[in-house]
């Protein structure tokens, strides 16, 4: 019999067993009040829940799981909810990105080790979405994602404020003397006024849209607000669909094709989405062994205009985006730029899913003929003597005047050094200064934190300068903005040219030409490299890769993390190990 035969399912290796082992697998499960009939060979659907009170963006996912369970029961499956690791941006230090691969490993191993035939992945906050997709992809059992949905729009003193973006804006206003600490405290409760993840087009909303455009989340699913009843309708439908996926044996490897990645990359450009999507998509592509290079992102998006007028680049928030018709409208609007054939978790082609999409607000989602911003305004990839393996910059978040720029570097080895100096009235800066922050890459920090959008020096803010060029091997929050060159690879901690820049060097940024260059002659750079190597050999460990990690996860991570252009996954996690049932435990 085919894949519809219950005895061919993974779960049957546990629940259909006779004798001692079958007794063990079933008996303890019955303490939860399950009758013998749930072991009749029906599809067992895991509900991987990244719920946590330490991840406020995911704190409502227990309720979402209940709706998923209804759907699984309804379709004749057995739902089994379990916790996964959770990664919350607001609290976790030094950065959630240090733990994305750990969570992906944890999800992968949990799926493989248990009697699961399929899984519903519940994510929300930034890294929880790629971590779950990466883990599920490496097991390759039928999987469907349900993201938790965005918060309602922030509302402060009569205007809409966006999560994250408002933090950067309001805190700059306070530093410039326009707001008080008390004003800022009042804004806290106004910004985050419902359950859900950030409602700007930051990393969480971007990654929810990536899951949808890749075909791993039901069409229309990304934008439904967390508190909207329709999110629970969607969750229930996804539970039903998970059972169907098992019946059809439709796996992530069939969904996550090269064409699906091309769609997602173009969608990210059309959304003016987060720079972090670049890193996560590269890592996910590595898991399914779809060839994808950082340098290809530019060519793939060269004809894609920004259609969504969304914060941080534009005006609107996710609630508006949902009411305007959400992601299917963007994808339909992109027309021939979107591959129509890739199959999604509904079992239908993405083209079918988006064919009927209708736009209800052209202010929020524009047309290709009258876009919000022209093609090339999304995230672009730069190469040059300062970033031989690439760097990224989000054009829509930058000051157009600075996109072609020549200035002198002011260099900081640690982001804390810059933070301490940023408000110094004597900081030697002018509007042309290029702030260089290093030691913030995957190995160096360690963990690749979102510190690349360091604040503009206070003396410049007071003089009315709101943006300057900033260069780092760090990432930037998806809600951040500014002319920030990010993800410089190789990072300084592994000896990239970024390590050789000195204060006063001339740096040239040429975004139209996709270049970032250090104007220092090669003989001088070679001499500096030699001096660096000598000081490292002499035991000056400050710049050692790994930030001195000696044990535990940080050690494993720094020993194996790949550079930004490879998605910062661990080298031994690329590809997958499949879903073969492991050996007996007793």
Interface contacts to ligand FES, rule CB under 6 A: 57, 89-90, 125-126, 163-164, 197-198, 202, 204
| CB proximity list for 522: less than 8 A, separation 6 or greater | none
Applying CB under 5 A, the site for Mg ion has a residue count of 6
Closer of 138 and 479 to Mg ion (Cβ): 479
What are the start-end ranges of the H helices in 18-142?
19-27, 61-74, 100-113, 128-139
Nearer to ligand FES, 450 or 467 (CB): 450
| Shortest Cβ 461–ligand FES spacing (Å) | 25
Q: Which does 281 bind (CB under 5 to 8 A by kind): Mg ion, ligand FES, none?
A: none
The structure tokens listed for 268 are 């990210």
57 binds, among Mg ion, ligand FES, none (CB under 5 to 8 A by kind): ligand FES
The one of ligand FES, Mg ion, none whose footprint includes residue 446, by CB under 5 to 8 A per kind, is none
Comparison of 90 and 351: residue with beta carbon closer to ligand FES: 90
Per-residue b or e along 359-387, where b marks 16 or more CB atoms closer than 10 Å to that residue's CB: beeeebbbebeebbbebbbbbbbbbbbbb
**In this structure, are residues 485 and 374 in contact, taking their beta carbons and an 8 Å threshold?**
no
Residue with smaller CB distance to ligand FES, 58 or 558: 58
User: Which CB, 244 or 276, lies closer to Mg ion?
Assistant: 276
| Residues with Cβ within 8 Å of residue 513, at least 6 apart in sequence | none
Structure tokens at 221: 């699913």
CB of 203 to Mg ion, least distance (A): 4
Closest of 159, 274, 154 to residue 210, by C-alpha? 274
State in angstroms the smallest separation of the CB of 479 from ligand FES: 7
The contacts of residue 80 (CB under 8 Å, 6+ apart) are: 44, 45, 46, 47, 114, 116
Contact at 8 Å (CB) between 304 and 334? yes
**Alpha-carbon torsion 85, 48, 198, 103, what sign?**
positive
278 binds, among Mg ion, ligand FES, none (CB under 5 to 8 A by kind): none
- Whether the Cβ atoms of residue 491 and residue 564 lie closer than 8 Å to each other: yes
Does the footprint of Mg ion cover residue 554 (CB under 5 A)?
no
Query: In terms of residues, how long is the chain?
Result: 586
Q: Which does 284 bind (CB under 5 to 8 A by kind): Mg ion, ligand FES, none?
A: none
The answer to whether 246 and 117 have CB atoms below 8 angstroms apart is yes
Residue 90, binding choice from ligand FES, Mg ion, none, Cβ under 5 to 8 Å by partner class = ligand FES
Q: What minimum distance in Å lies between the beta carbon of 452 and ligand FES? A: 16
Residue with smaller CB distance to ligand FES, 198 or 256: 198
Buried b (16+ CB within 10 A) or exposed e, 479-511: bbbbbbbbbbbbbbbbbbbbbbbeeebebbbeb
- Does 58 engage in binding with Mg ion (CB under 5 A)? no
Part in contact with Mg ion (CB under 5 A); list of ranges 116-124, 197-205, 221-229, 262-270: 197-205
> Are 356 and 220 within 8 A, CB to CB?
no
Residue 163 touches which member of ligand FES, Mg ion, none, C-beta under 5-8 Å by kind: ligand FES
Q: d(Cα 116, Cα 161) in Å, to the nearest integer? A: 42
State which of residues 81, 106, 126, 353 lies at the interface with Mg ion (CB under 5 A): 126
The distance of closest approach from Cβ of residue 60 to ligand FES in the complex, given in angstroms and rounded to an integer, is: 12
- By beta-carbon proximity to Mg ion, the closer residue of 89 and 106 is 89
Residue among 451, 496, 494 nearest 475 (CA): 451
Q: Least Å distance between CB 308 and Mg ion?
A: 17
DSSP assignment letter at 544: -
As separate numbers, helices (DSSP H) first and strands (DSSP E) second, the chain gives 20, 14
Least Å distance, CB 64 to ligand FES, is 15
Which residue has 């903005």 as its token pair?
A: 481
Rule CB under 5 A: is residue 203 a binding residue for Mg ion? yes
Q: Which is nearer to Mg ion, 14 or 316 (CB)?
A: 316
Closest CA to 105 of 119, 85, 78: 85
Contact flag: residue 563 with Mg ion (CB under 5 A): no
Phi/psi at 181 (nearest 5 deg)?
-60, -40
Residue 202 and residue 312 in contact, taking contact as beta carbons nearer than 8 Å: yes
Q: Please say whether the beta carbons of 371 and 310 come within 8 A.
A: no
In the list Mg ion, ligand FES, none, the entry touching 313 (Cβ below 5 to 8 angstroms by class) is none
The residue (of 81 and 126) whose beta carbon lies closer to ligand FES is: 126
Of the candidate spans 55-63, 92-100, 124-132, 376-384, the one that interacts with Mg ion by CB under 5 A turns out to be 124-132
Least distance to Mg ion, CB of residue 56, Å = 13
- Shortest gap between Cβ of 415 and ligand FES (angstroms)? 19
- Residue 476: CB minimum distance to Mg ion, A: 9
Burial of 407 (0-12, 13-18, 19+ CB in 10 A): buried
Cα gap 182→198, rounded to integer Å: 23
Nearest C-alpha neighbor of 307 from the set 354, 367, 394: 367
Nearest-approach distance from CB 555 to Mg ion, in angstroms: 26
Nearer to ligand FES, 104 or 139 (CB): 104
197 interface partner picked from Mg ion, ligand FES, none, CB below 5 to 8 A per type: ligand FES
Instruction: Please choose, from the candidates 300, 281, 275, 269, the residue with its C-alpha nearest in 3D space to the C-alpha of residue 216.
Output: 281
Answer for which of 123, 301, 477, 492 binds Mg ion (CB under 5 A) is 477
Pick out residues in 84-113 that bind Mg ion (CB under 5 A): 89
Q: How far is the CB of 322 from ligand FES (least distance, A)?
A: 16
Least Å distance, CB 461 to Mg ion, is 23
Judged by beta carbon, residue 110 or residue 472, the one nearer Mg ion is 472
**Which is closer to ligand FES, CB of 62 or CB of 178?**
62
Q: What are the two backbone dihedrals, phi and then psi, of residue 561, each rounded to the nearest 5 degrees?
A: -70, 140
Per DSSP, 125 falls in state S
Instruction: Give which of ligand FES, Mg ion, none residue 257 binds (C-beta under 5 to 8 Å, depending on kind).
Output: none
Residue 133 or residue 518: which is nearer to Mg ion going by CB?
133
Rule CB under 5 A: say whether 247 interacts with Mg ion: no
Residues that bind Mg ion (CB under 5 A): 89, 126, 202-203, 477-478
């Amino acid at each position: 019999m085919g894949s519809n035969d219950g005895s061919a399912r993974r779960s049957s290796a546990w629940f259909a067993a006779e004798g001692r082992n079958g007794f063990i697998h079933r008996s303890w499960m019955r303490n939860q009040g399950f009758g013998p009939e749930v072991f009749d060979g029906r599809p067992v659907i895991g509900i991987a829940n990244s719920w946590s009170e330490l991840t406020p963006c995911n704190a409502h996912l227990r309720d979402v799981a209940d709706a998923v369970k209804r759907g699984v029961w309804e379709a004749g499956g057995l739902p089994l909810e379990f916790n996964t690791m959770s990664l919350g941006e607001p609290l976790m230090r030094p950065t959630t990105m240090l733990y994305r691969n750990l969570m992906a490993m944890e999800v992968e191993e949990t799926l493989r080790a248990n009697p699961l035939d399929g899984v519903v992945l519940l994510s929300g906050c930034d890294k929880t979405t790629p971590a779950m997709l990466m883990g599920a992809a490496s097991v390759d059992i039928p999987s469907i994602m349900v993201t938790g949905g965005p918060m309602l729009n922030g509302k402060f003193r009569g205007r809409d404020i966006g999560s994250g973006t408002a933090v950067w804006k309001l805190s700059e206003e306070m530093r410039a003397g326009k707001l008080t600490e008390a004003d800022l405290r009042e804004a806290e409760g106004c910004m985050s006024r419902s359950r859900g993840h950030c409602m700007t087009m930051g990393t969480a909303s971007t990654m929810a849209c990536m899951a949808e455009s890749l075909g791993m989340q039901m069409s229309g699913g990304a934008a439904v607000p967390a508190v909207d009843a329709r999110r629970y309708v969607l969750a229930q439908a996804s539970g039903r669909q998970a059972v169907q996926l098992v019946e059809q044996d439709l796996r992530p490897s069939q969904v996550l094709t090269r064409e699906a990645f091309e769609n997602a990359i173009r969608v990210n450009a059309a959304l003016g989405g987060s720079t972090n999507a670049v890193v996560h998509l590269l890592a996910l592509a590595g898991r399914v062994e779809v060839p994808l290079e950082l340098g290809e992102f530019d060519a793939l998006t060269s004809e894609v205009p920004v259609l969504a007028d969304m914060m941080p680049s534009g005006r609107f928030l996710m609630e508006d985006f949902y009411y305007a018709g959400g992601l299917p409208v963007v994808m339909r609007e992109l027309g021939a730029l979107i591959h129509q054939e890739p199959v999604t978790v509904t079992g239908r082609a993405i083209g079918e899913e988006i064919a009927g999409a209708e736009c209800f607000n052209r202010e929020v989602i524009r047309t290709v003929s009258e876009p919000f911003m022209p093609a090339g305004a999304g995230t672009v990839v730069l190469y040059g003597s300062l970033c031989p393996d690439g760097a990224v910059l989000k054009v829509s978040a930058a000051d157009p005047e600075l996109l072609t720029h020549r200035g002198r570097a002011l260099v900081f080895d640690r982001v804390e050094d810059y933070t301490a100096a940023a408000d110094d009235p004597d900081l030697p800066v002018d509007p042309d200064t290029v702030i260089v922050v290093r030691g913030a890459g995957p190995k160096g920090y360690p963990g690749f934190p979102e510190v690349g959008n360091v604040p503009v020096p206070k003396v410049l803010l007071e003089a009315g300068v709101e943006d300057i060029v900033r260069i780092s091997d760090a990432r930037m929050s998806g809600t951040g903005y500014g002319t920030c060159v990010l993800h410089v690879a190789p990072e300084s901690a592994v000896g990239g040219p970024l390590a050789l820049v000195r204060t006063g060097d001339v740096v040239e940024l040429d975004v139209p030409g996709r270049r970032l260059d250090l104007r220092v002659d090669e003989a001088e750079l070679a001499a500096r490299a030699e001096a660096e190597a000598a000081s490292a050999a002499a035991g000056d460990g400050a710049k050692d890769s790994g930030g001195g990690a000696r044990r535990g996860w940080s050690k494993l991570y720094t020993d194996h993390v790949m550079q930004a252009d490879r998605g910062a996954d661990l080298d031994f996690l690329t590809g997958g190990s499949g879903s073969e049932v492991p050996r007996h435990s007793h």
